[in-house]
């Protein structure tokens, strides 16, 4: 949790980490770490750990009280009420098959609108945009336009020699060796496509492609460029036409889309501020963010997206099978002997969103939060899964 916050949300490499039973954090950081980044880590990431280890506080991520049997609706709601008292604000949606088992909202949309968020509230979804990009790649493979086995120069002839063995599949699985970021000023840095491509291709590989794994926003921006090249369409237009529209994701889009004028939008409260932290007011993503972030969506829409990977719809059976094989390769968790997959996004503007699923049961747990607190969407998503199944989530390296 701490490493994901520091590296994925703040872009600072964690070179070593020890979290002691008391909650003391002993960490060392890579190049670029300084006073400003130390302050951001202290404000954003450390409270999440402190909330878990607080003496006398509620047990977070421990065994569920119903260990050994599935949880009841009352037990799920009891967990949510206790987490709201610890500072959680946001929305929760739990579905089994085609039925919604629980849909709740906590806190307020913003300081002026005291309505609680709900399953149709728009949240910034951060890196879940990467999963939309991955879905677009699988659709293009289904169309016969590209193959995940193809190398970059087969699709982008200007690829420099140092990157010529990288495959589309390695980009999807973060095994290409690109750096985490190609921006220097954050999500809203002004950057055109040519500049992004130049910066990405000028990077030095972290490792030989395919030999290791390192999370890379740059790799997914490169995938967005590939999508534009092979479709001759803007990236945003393609994902709207082939993913959002066919799935009925009517409240999903990129920053600056005119889809959230009804005011049912969660305003972030975090360590950083941009345009009031209202994603409906944020400018369209530049190529600092394209393909790897910039998604605004709702839990209802994200559930439609999650179901698309197993249900009839935009993917043909062979493609769904290929997606399942790909996600199973990435899966590192199980519960009650069944594989758990999922994806998440977050930033330092207060937002965190997670989609957890047990594919064998077509069970989905979705959580979105817009307020910096010890109870993030990640934490609550794990806890809800554990109560739902009455078992511990087991992770492996």
pLDDT digits (tens, 9 = 90+) for 300-341: 999 999 999 999 899 999 999 999 999 888 777 899 999 999
pLDDT tens string 121-166: 999 999 999 999 999 999 999 999 999 999 999 999 999 999 999 9
> Which letter does DSSP use for residue 292 in this model?
T
Is there a single domain that holds both residue 45 and residue 182? no
In a domain, 218, yes or no: yes
In a domain, 71, yes or no: no
Is there a single domain that holds both residue 127 and residue 44? no
Is there a single domain that holds both residue 201 and residue 290? yes
In a domain, 382, yes or no: yes
Is there a single domain that holds both residue 32 and residue 171? no
Is there a single domain that holds both residue 349 and residue 234? yes
Could you give the dihedral angle defined by the CA atoms of residues 277, 182, 215 and 91, in that order, rounded to the nearest 10 degrees?
A: 10
Mean pLDDT for the chain? 91
Q: Would the pLDDT of 21 be above 70?
A: no
In a domain, 129, yes or no: yes
Is there a single domain that holds both residue 50 and residue 128? no
Is there a single domain that holds both residue 275 and residue 148? yes
Q: Would the pLDDT of 206 be above 90?
A: yes
Is there a single domain that holds both residue 277 and residue 141? yes
In a domain, 62, yes or no: no
Is there a single domain that holds both residue 48 and residue 132? no
Is there a single domain that holds both residue 5 and residue 154? no
Is there a single domain that holds both residue 15 and residue 162? no
Is there a single domain that holds both residue 38 and residue 154? no
CATH code for the domain of 272: 3.40.710.10
> Which letter does DSSP use for residue 283 in this model?
P
> Which of 48-57, 130-139, 173-182, 353-362 has the weakest average pLDDT?
48-57
Domain range for 50: 1-57
Could you give the dihedral angle defined by the CA atoms of residues 142, 155, 296 and 299, in that order, rounded to the nearest 10 degrees?
A: 30
Interatomic CA distance for residues 76 and 341, integer angstroms: 20
In a domain, 155, yes or no: yes
Contact yes or no for 315/323 (Cβ under 8 A)? yes
In a domain, 224, yes or no: yes
Tally the domains of the chain.
2
Interatomic CA distance for residues 69 and 72, integer angstroms: 9
pTM, entire model: 0.87
In a domain, 331, yes or no: yes
């Amino acid at each position: 949790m701490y490493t994901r916050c520091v590296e994925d949300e703040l872009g600072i490499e964690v070179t070593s980490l020890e979290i002691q039973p008391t909650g003391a954090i002993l960490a060392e950081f890579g190049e670029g770490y300084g006073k400003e980044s130390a302050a951001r880590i202290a404000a954003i990431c450390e409270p999440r750990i402190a909330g878990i280890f607080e003496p006398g506080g509620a047990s977070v991520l421990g065994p569920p009280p119903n260990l050994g049997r599935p949880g009841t609706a009352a037990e799920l709601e009891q967990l949510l009420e206790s987490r709201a008292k610890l500072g959680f604000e946001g929305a929760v949606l739990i579905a089994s098959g085609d039925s919604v088992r629980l849909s709740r909202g906590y806190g307020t949309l913003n300081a002026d609108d005291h309505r609680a968020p709900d399953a149709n509230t728009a949240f910034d979804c951060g890196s879940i945009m990467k999963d939309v990009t991955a879905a677009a790649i699988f659709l293009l493979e289904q169309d016969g336009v590209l193959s995940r086995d193809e190398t970059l120069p087969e699709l982008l002839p200007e690829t420099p020699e140092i990157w010529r063995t990288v495959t589309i599949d390695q980009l999807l699985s973060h095994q290409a060796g690109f750096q985490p970021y190609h921006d220097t000023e954050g999500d809203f840095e002004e950057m055109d496509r040519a500049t992004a491509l130049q910066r990405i291709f000028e990077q030095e590989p972290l490792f030989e492609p395919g030999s290791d794994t390192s999370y890379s926003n740059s790799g997914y921006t490169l995938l967005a460029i590939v999508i534009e090249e092979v479709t001759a369409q803007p990236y945003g237009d393609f994902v709207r036409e082939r993913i959002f529209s066919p799935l009925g994701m009517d409240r999903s889009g990129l920053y600056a889309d005119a889809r959230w004028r009804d005011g049912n939008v969660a305003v972030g409260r975090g360590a950083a501020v941009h345009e009031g932290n209202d994603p409906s007011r944020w400018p369209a993503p530049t190529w600092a963010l394209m393909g790897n972030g910039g998604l605004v969506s709702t839990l209802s829409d994200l559930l439609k997206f999650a179901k698309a990977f197993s249900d009839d719809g935009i993917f043909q059976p062979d493609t769904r099978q290929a997606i399942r094989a790909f996600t199973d390769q990435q899966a590192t968790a199980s519960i009650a002997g069944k594989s758990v997959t999922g994806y998440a996004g977050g930033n330092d503007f207060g937002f965190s969103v997670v989609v957890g699923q047990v594919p064998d049961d077509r069970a989905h747990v979705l959580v979105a939060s817009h307020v910096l607190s010890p109870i993030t969407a990640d934490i609550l998503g794990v806890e809800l899964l554990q109560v739902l199944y009455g078992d511990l989530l087991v992770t492996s390296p």
